[in-house]
Amino acid sequence: VCTLVWELRVLGWDVSYGAEFVPDAEDGYTVIIQKTRKVAATDEPVIRNSYKIGESGKVILKIENATSKKKKLLYRFKTKVAESN
């Protein structure tokens, strides 16, 4: 079990942001961590989120740029592994 923590910042105009967890198991279900929502340039400067992972899989961060203008995306993440007793 571990917790994935991430922060991202978009420099420029509006984008859409969403996050989901896709397990490796064929019979597993995709978990929506953050429903896709529009983030305006005037909204929160940094988006922070985390997800506790109990099985193998991947976290997908979706950033959609609806305009043709180039934008810069800055992100960082950290994995915190749970200590076993």
Contacts of 14 (CB under 8 A, 6+ apart): 38, 39, 40, 41, 66, 67
One digit per residue, the tens of pLDDT, for the chain of length 85 reads: 889 999 988 777 678 899 999 999 999 899 999 999 988 777 767 888 999 988 999 999 998 887 767 777 787 888 888 766 5
Q: pTM value? A: 0.77
Supply the pLDDT for residue 85.
56
- Looking at residue 29, what is its pLDDT? 93
Q: Cite the beta strand spans of the chain per DSSP E.
A: 2-11, 15-23, 31-39, 47-53, 57-64, 72-81
